[in-house]
Structure 1
Amino acid sequence: MTDTTNVHGTFRKLWPHEQALFRDHLLRLDKTSRAMRFAHGVSDSFIEDYARQMADAGSTVFAYVEDGQVRAAAELKKLGPIWGNEAEAAFSVESAFQDQGLGTEMMGRVIRAARNRGVHLLYISCLASNAGMQAIARKHDAELRFELGEVIGEIVPQEANYFSLFAEAVEDRMDFMMAVLDLQRRVGLAA
């Protein structure tokens, strides 16, 4: 079990209209965190383009939201034009929020979402120096292998069942409600 006792925000799915929240999170990543997320340094314009394609790429993005801002994100990305046997997971956590169990919590959601979409093999790729991501992958029974300065993790999700589908459907409803409340809060602050 992950210790998230010091966590004061919420874990939820991001919706297509929340691309700006995702973008702002990625822009706040420090140089090291950006390199860990993208396996190399990236510019602000790269991040703006990347975030703009969040919904177009068919990704499902889970986030840890605190005070109306995304502080950590986990992406489930399909490999190809439709959901198939394989998918990829990617994670980013702002430096002030690292080592609080956020990645581990979101990994569970990513695995369940992959499972519910018929994914049979979930890939995680990170730099060999990213010990945190490797630890999270191991907690979820990933098989890790080292290749040219990178670590490739493979997770085989269980088959979807009524309970996994029901849990995601219930969470989606709650997540949408939380997104509406976050939007109301942001609009109220801007007024």
Structure 2
Amino acid sequence: MPGTEHSTIDHAAPVARQEADLAFGQIRKLVPSDRRIFLEHLLRLDPLSRFMRFGGVMADSALARHATRAMSGDAHLIGYFVEGELRAVAELHPLPRREGKPASAEAAFSVERPWQGRGIGSSLMRQLVLIAQNRGIEDLQVVFLPNNGRMKRLAVQQAADFSLDCEEVVGHMRTPPATPFSRLRELIGDVFAVFASASEIQERMLPPPMRGN
């Protein structure tokens, strides 16, 4: 039927566009030497995206402190790169252990405005789940403002349970146990991240006309 054909095309187009967007970029872990480009990414966030990411107003100096803490502490960061530029980041912050409670961690996401709505957050979330399961983290939490529709959809995709806590929404996701395959996947990603970061640093040291050749 004509109506059915149009419906299929309408649903397929966004999926195809998301796959093309993801193929255009590169996802890898951030390493300590990436602190500067992480901060540059945070500073490029428009005011609304910055507010949604941190749940309030954040000065540039506060972003600098956050970048230093995140890159030097026990957090794990995954970045989405386009032509060597960091455009989105997913952060995994382990939470203090509580007796009788499963190990937990909080996930947070920042995506620059031109790259929002392209399925990048979902791909980064899958990488965070891999890191969480390999560290025995059973409860992966996502905290966001009630009007942050993108984060709510991302949590829904992961079958999260929701609760309202101090005017914030908290999504809880159960992660699967680690397997030899999941550990191997992360190990391969770690090796790739080190070599990719070193290559990007070398390229940024070249004069602009010589980059990308």
TM-score by length of 2: 0.83
Which 5+ residue runs of structure 2 have no aligned equivalent? 1-14
| Residue 37 (structure 2) pairs with residue 9 (structure 1) | no
The structure that has the greater radius of gyration is: 2
CA distance in 2, matches of 1:4, 1:40: 32
* Counterpart mapping for 1:17-166 below 5 A: 17-80=33-96, 85-166=103-184
Deviations 1:4-50 (A, max 9, x none): 31242210100011100110000110110011100011100000111
Which 5+ residue runs of structure 1 have no aligned equivalent? none
Tell me how far 1:103 sits from its aligned partner. 0.4
Residue aligned with 1:53, SS: helix
Percent sequence identity over aligned pairs: 32
Higher mean C-alpha deviation, range 110-119 or range 137-146: 137-146
CA distance in 2, matches of 1:142, 1:6: 26
Across the aligned residues of Structure 1 and Structure 2, the Cα RMSD in angstroms comes to: 1.8
Residue aligned with 1:6, SS: helix
Higher mean C-alpha deviation, range 143-152 or range 159-168: 143-152
Higher helix share: 2
Residue aligned with 2:143, SS: strand
Residue identity matched to 2:78: F
Residue aligned with 1:125, SS: strand
Q: Work out whether residues 145 and 151 of structure 1, in 8 Å CA contact, stay in contact via their aligned partners in 2.
A: yes
CA distance in 2, matches of 1:78, 1:148: 21
Name the count of aligned residue pairs: 189
Structure 1 residue ranges (4+ consecutive) displaced by more than 6 angstroms after TM superposition: none
TM-score by length of 1: 0.93
CA distance in 2, matches of 1:57, 1:34: 22
Residue aligned with 1:4, SS: helix
Tell me how far 1:55 sits from its aligned partner. 2.5
